[in-house]
Amino acid sequence: MPQRLFPQAGGAEALKEVTYSRNVFIPVTDLCRNLCGYCTFCRPLKEARLVARSEAVDLLERAAAAGCSEALFSMGDRPWEVTGSSALIGQREDLLDYLVELAELALDRGLLPHTNAGLLQEEEIAALAPYNASMGLMLETTAQVDLHRMSPGKSPSVRLAMMEAAGRQKVPFTSGILVGIGEDCMDRIRSLELLADLHRRHGNLQEVILQPLDPKPGTPSACLDPPSLREMSDLVGMARAILPAEVSIQVPPNLVDPRPLIQAGADDLGGLSPISQDHINPNRPWPRLDDLLRMVGRPVRERLPIYPSYVRRGWYGRRTRKVVLDLADRDGFRRSEGYRGSSQGISRRIG
């Protein structure tokens, strides 16, 4: 697939590019200490599972063959705090070591890890960061909402503290807000303002996801109405006014029509997978990649899980450097498929 499916328009009317990455979503474990009122990803201990090494390797090899650049590793929040969890995942150190091993398996196959491991302490971030191109944690909301009543890990202050820790370590970071879980407009503004302030302090927030609630049958959220397309479009415009210009706004195309949101200022479609489902929203399949990229009405360019400005700065885990340089073009975007030349050009630029 070419990097750009639309020619760049010339002159002052040139349209801003929309970016995306190709990934594989690997759910490391669906055990979680939180009981969020909208979640179907996490399972009780008797039903929870830990991804087998052989299963992860199979997914990684299929992803590499399909031209993916990102291995998204996701898991429940601090699962080692669930009573009886050691029978499934061992101790905290065991699971962190396994995350490192999975990241190394991804790197060996030319894929860049992006880990969403829930709440981490600063020393835990430090242990994982060398093996990751980027990491992430959704803020979700600064409001106190009923759907978080049984979720200690959704405390806004604790989540912001983790993002501060990632900022101190210069880890390129993805965050975002979850829209329609009981917060109001002022809560959304406050959440976006705090994310903007965090980026101004540390400079490591590469993107903010605006994710609409997908009410799922059998959960307390089932009776809620998801935010309307107009509501989401207004939120995108508000986010673009609040966030620093260099922070991308991502919208998930399997949950909302991206076209009006792109018109409102969104500029990223997130990770699109030809290999795996969206395990957080399993009933919302990804649109066909070719169809999606043709319908957005903007120039489209493939990126890595680490954004180009951070590629150029060298803000990525030291163990990921070779793969970053192999995959990135001179601008820090995804190199054209089929290119197998030297990475010296970008090496000289970011040294």
Judging by beta carbons within 10 Å of its beta carbon (0-12, 13-18, 19+), is residue 222 exposed, middle or buried? exposed
Q: How far apart are CA 264 and CA 246, in angstroms?
A: 16
pLDDT of residue 1: 31
Count, residues in the chain:
351
pLDDT of residue 337: 64
Minimal CA–CA distance to 238: which of 202, 199, 176, 185? 185
Q: How far apart are CA 320 and CA 133, in angstroms?
A: 6
Instruction: Please report, for residues 74, 191, 204, 332, the alpha-carbon distance to residue 195 in angstroms, rounded to integers and kept in the order given.
Output: 21, 6, 11, 24
The encoded tokens of residue 65 equal: 């063959």
For the entire predicted model, the pTM comes to 0.92
Q: How far apart are CA 307 and CA 312, in angstroms?
A: 9
Q: How far apart are CA 234 and CA 351, in angstroms?
A: 41
pLDDT of residue 346: 38
pLDDT of residue 84: 98
Q: What is the pLDDT of residues 110-162, one digit of tens each?
A: 999 999 999 999 999 999 999 999 999 999 999 999 999 999 999 999 999 99
Residues in the chain predicted with pLDDT less than 50, given as ranges, are 1-13, 338-351
pLDDT of residue 351: 31
| List of domains in the chain | 17-350 (3.20.20.70)
User: DSSP letter at 14?
Assistant: P
- In DSSP terms, which residues pair with 209 in a beta bridge? 176, 250
Taking a C-beta distance cutoff of 8 angstroms, is the pair 128, 117 a contact? yes
pLDDT of residue 340: 36
Report residue 317 CA to chain centroid gap: 16
Between the CA atoms of 143, 144, 149 and 154, what dihedral angle is there, to the nearest 10 degrees?
Answer: 50
